[in-house]
Copies of this chain bind each other. A is one copy, B any other.
Amino acid sequence: MNIKALANLLGGTLQSDDPDAEIVAVNTLQNAREDEASFLASMKYKADLHRSKAGVFLVALDFPEEHSRGKNLIKVADPYLAFAQLQRHFHPATCSSGKRHPTAIINSAALLADDVDVGPYVVIEAGVTIASGSIVCAGSVIEKESSIGHDCMIHARSVISYGSVIGDRVILQSGVVIGSDGFGYAWTGKEHLKIPQTGRVVLENDVEVGANSCIDRGALGDTVIRQGVKLDNQIQIGHNVEVGAYSIMASQVGISGSTKIGAGCQIGGQAGIAGHLNIGDGIKLAAKSGVLGDLDAGGTYAGYPAIHHRTWLKVSALTARLPEIWNQIRKKK
């Protein structure tokens, strides 16, 4: 594909003496060869750009002229988004082909679209439905009465427990567990009595779940992950949690039972949120934060217990200075 066509694909403006130059892949500024495109997500990498051999660069609309000399540029509103689009162009998602490995055990009472791929040693139980275009990789287990939408990618060794509802274009990375029992017991005075967990897990369309993450089924009622939510690796979602549309969580986050998280939230790695809370839409939560109360929509929070991020920055700076401050105070006395 030549860079003129590339510019068209991305809806960008080409600035080049050589619009016919061929591009075969995308790469980093450091590693790109002459037949590869690269991108400048921030001007702080401009030195790397000048050293780069890339055949064309995706840059911002306001990219300064003085850095443009002798380079093929495609100017776009968002170079990082353009990079994503280009990667998707060169690496389209794998398509299903209807290939069924002979060792796949597909219950006769399961209903799979003709073109669904099923890998070796996959187990698909009775009452499961899987729609067109989906791929279930080696060693995964889809328990009874679960449904999977179209164009899903279930990576190797995932477990989807009974009765789960998976939307369209959902991606589960390897080792994911959907529908494990929630952590529910009642104390009898002698022992913890297990409460049967009879709800389900519902993953809406375009959800992605990272490797070895777990989403517990509801105790009563459902655990629901709304449209477009992206969860990183080793995340734990407790029973009856609801995560709002397009929210995103970095790895090792834990959400305790019955908490409701709004739409469009961004939650940093290793953060934890206690149970039965209401977290407003669009909040940002710093990594490692611990949330013990409701959070108002739109705010940015940090710390444990979590407070406004701006306050937390001041608190952190002062806390680190406590020994020095305490010395000052003692001298004054």
Contact flag A88-B214 (CB < 8 Å), given A81-B188, A180-B174, A323-B315:
no
Within the assembled complex, what's the spacing in Å between the Cα atoms of A319 and B220? 39
**Mask of A63-89 contacts with B, CB within 8 angstroms, 1/0:** 000000000000000101101110110
Is the beta-carbon distance between A322 and B333 smaller than 8 angstroms? no
The answer to whether the Cβ of A157 comes within 8 Å of any Cβ in the partner chain is: yes
Contacts of A187 in B (CB 8 A): 81
A187-B81, A236-B234, A318-B323 known; A138-B141 Cβ under 8 A: yes
A267 within 8 A of B: no
B123 touches A120 (CB 8 A): yes
Most B C-beta atoms less than 10 A away, residue of A84, A161, A303: A84
A193 CB–B CB distance under 8 Å:
yes
Q: Decide: A88 near B195, CB < 8 A? Known: A177-B212, A318-B322.
A: yes
How long is the Cα–Cα vector from A186 to B329 in the complex, in angstroms? 46
Contacts of A195 in B (CB 8 A): 83-84, 87-88
Alpha-carbon gap, A228 to B188, bound state (A): 12
Are the C-beta atoms of A272 and B254 separated by less than 8 Å? no
A250 in the interface, Cβ–Cβ < 8 Å?
yes
Q: Any chain B CB within 8 A of the CB of A119?
A: yes
Interface contact B269-A212, CB-CB below 8 Å: no
Question: At the interface, yes or no: A116 with Cβ under 8 Å from chain B?
Answer: no
A193 partner residues in chain B, CB cutoff 8 A: 81, 84-85, 88
Interface residues of A in 123-158 (CB under 8 A from B): 123, 137-139, 141, 143, 155-157
Q: How far is it, in angstroms, between the C-alpha of A155 and the C-alpha of B274 when the chains are bound?
A: 27
User: What number of A residues sit within 8 Å (CB to CB) of B?
Assistant: 100
Chain B residues positioned under 8 Å from A2 (CB to CB): none
Whether B191 contacts A228 by the Cβ 8 Å rule is yes
Q: How far is the CA of A157 from the CA of B123 in the complex (A)?
A: 11
Contact between B329 and A320 (Cβ–Cβ < 8 Å)? no
Q: Are A141 and B157 in contact (CB under 8 A)?
A: yes
Expressed in whole angstroms, the minimum distance between the Cβ of A228 and any Cβ of chain B is 5
Leading 6 A-B pairs by shortest Cβ distance: A84-B186, A180-B211, A91-B196, A81-B186, A314-B323, A177-B211
Known contacts A90-B196, A183-B232; 8 further A-B pairs (Cβ under 8 A):
A81-B186, A88-B193, A141-B157, A141-B174, A210-B214, A212-B214, A214-B234, A270-B272
29 contacts between A and B (CB under 8 A): A81-B188, A81-B193, A84-B195, A87-B196, A141-B156, A141-B174, A156-B161, A157-B159, A171-B194, A175-B212, A177-B233, A183-B250, A185-B248, A191-B246, A192-B248, A194-B208, A212-B212, A212-B214, A214-B233, A232-B236, A234-B234, A234-B254, A254-B270, A256-B287, A270-B272, A303-B320, A305-B320, A311-B320, A318-B322
